[in-house]
Amino acid sequence: MIQEALREIQRGTAEIIDIERIEKLLKAYFDEEKTYTVKAGFDPTAPDLHLGHTVLLQKLAIFQKYGARVQFLIGSFTAMIGDPTGKNATRKVLTKEDIVTNIDSYTTQAFKILDPEKTDIVYNNEWLDELGAAGMLELASNLTVARMLERDDFSKRYASQTPIAVSEFIYPLLQGYDSVHLASDVEIGGTDQKFNLLMGRQLQKAYDIKKQQAVLMMPILEGLDGVQKMSKSLGNYIGVTDTANDMFGKVLSISDELMWRFYELLSTKTLDEIVELKSGVSDGSLHPKKVKEALALEITARFHSDEEANGAKEEFDKVHAKSQIPTDIAEFECDGEVWIAKALLDCNIEPSTSQARRDIKQGGVKIDQEKVTDDKLVLTAGEYLLQVGKRKFAKLKVN
């Protein structure tokens, strides 16, 4: 039982520090039903979660399954400093208002995965506001500059003369102090958080917390391109608020290689099941597309519902596999005669008439399923189904 739990917990992790501690916690839970705490910090900097964030959330959910109370820490205080992690430039500092507006949507999204009954939402400004200058100095005395500069991105920035604000040095200290205050048993975070996570251990020791937190690091999930990390700014993300159709389609568009990565980090299938799927694909008894569809269904259903997920799949098959027309198409109206390029522009399926003409010349535009060859075509009264490429559709009614 413990072994099984451990296996699930270890799944997909990049690194675990002090696995013995986790084992003991699990043992105490299975033997005596003792719960323990798992902390994870979230910066309320971006209001929208994507699947990359859910990797952590799902790991938390697994912990909840095995007796953990999750300390869902909102970095309400630290967000105002800006975590230097992964940035090579000083980050913009958020205002209080920005943060408050982000938190709400953040938590509702998170509870699609987490069990609210076993989750404590905590805000670190509650104790950090009170820390004061004296407390701050005491905290800071636990760390030397040399040690701080060991941190990878700090040393790189220092070497390359990129500015480091002193406030950024403080961030890891505060994050570590959160662990002291909460007396966390385990903290999880991304691999990029290693330094900060370890700081928690160090400070817990300094502040005489008897047991130091175990640390569990998850890898960073790749985005749709399979190369860069999933992030909103790169546009390669699957948002948890994406529509069922979008979500399904996006998952299906990832490469076969990346699919396994998604399985490992996002699916709730057991490791054995995944191994089975893998061997099925490699010996040819299972079509990779089927496997990917199953993944897309699972993920879509998680954030929507089974019915919606199935609907998305049907829609997808209809549009792409059988190249039929999608169900919901935006409709537009206009008066008088319209030049085709202008019509495409007005229906928002082309960005400019120039682009529209180019696509027509390349045979990428269809009206009522018929390829358009004349870029000077004028639409007279009637109803038309306009299509650009494979995916962009619009209905236009000319009066």
Partner RNA sequence: GGUGAGAUAGUCAAGUGGCCAACGACGGCGGACUGUAAAUCCGCUCCCUACGGGUUCAGAGGUUCGACUCCUCUUCUCACCA
Tokens representing 294 are 């199953």
Q: Binder to RNA among 136, 320, 325, 334 (CB under 7 A)?
A: 320
* Distance of closest approach, residue 181 Cβ to RNA, in angstroms: 36
| Smallest separation, CB 304 to RNA (Å) | 15
CA distance linking residue 89 with residue 164, whole number of Å:
8
Report the alpha-carbon distance of residue 356 to residue 377 in Å, rounded: 12
Decide if residue 249 touches RNA (CB under 7 A): yes
Residues 148/169, Cβ–Cβ less than 8 Å = yes
- Name the one residue in this structure whose structure tokens are 């799949």: 313
Query: Stretches 33-41, 61-69, 199-207, 337-345: which one binds RNA (CB under 7 A)?
Result: 337-345
Sole binder of RNA in the list 292, 302, 304, 313 (CB under 7 A): 292
Q: Is 321 in the site for RNA (CB under 7 A)?
A: yes
Instruction: List the interface residues with RNA, window 370-399 (CB under 7 A).
Output: 376, 378, 388-392
**CA-based nearest residue to 121, from 131, 113, 111, 135:** 111
Helix or strand holding residue 386 (H, E): strand 382-388
Measured from the CB of residue 353, what is the shortest distance to RNA in angstroms? 3
Query: Any idea of the CA torsion for 173, 174, 175, 177, to the nearest 10 degrees?
Result: 90
Which amino acid is present at 262? Answer: F
Shortest distance, position 358 Cβ to RNA, whole Å: 4
Query: How many other C-beta atoms can be found within 10 angstroms of the C-beta atom of residue 146?
Result: 7
Residue with tokens 């039982």: 1
Least distance between RNA and beta carbon 97 (Å) = 25
Contacting RNA (CB under 7 A), which of 5, 128, 341, 396? 341
| Distance of alpha carbon 355 from alpha carbon 335, whole angstroms | 23
3-class secondary structure, 207: coil
Looking at residue 114, its amino acid is L
**Interface characters, 342-371, with RNA (x: CB under 7 A):** x--x-----xxxxx-xxx--xxx-------
The count of chain residues that interact with RNA, using the rule CB under 7 A, is 43
Q: How far is Cα of residue 380 from the mean position of the Cα atoms in its chain?
A: 47
- In the bound state with RNA, the residue whose beta carbon lies nearer, of 47 and 364, is 364
| Residues 34-73 interacting with RNA (rule: CB under 7 A) | none
Does 255 bind RNA (CB under 7 A)? Our answer is: yes
Contact footprint for RNA (CB under 7 A): 160-162, 225, 248-250, 252-256, 259, 288-289, 292, 316, 320-321, 337-339, 341-342, 345, 351-355, 357-359, 362-364, 376, 378, 388-392
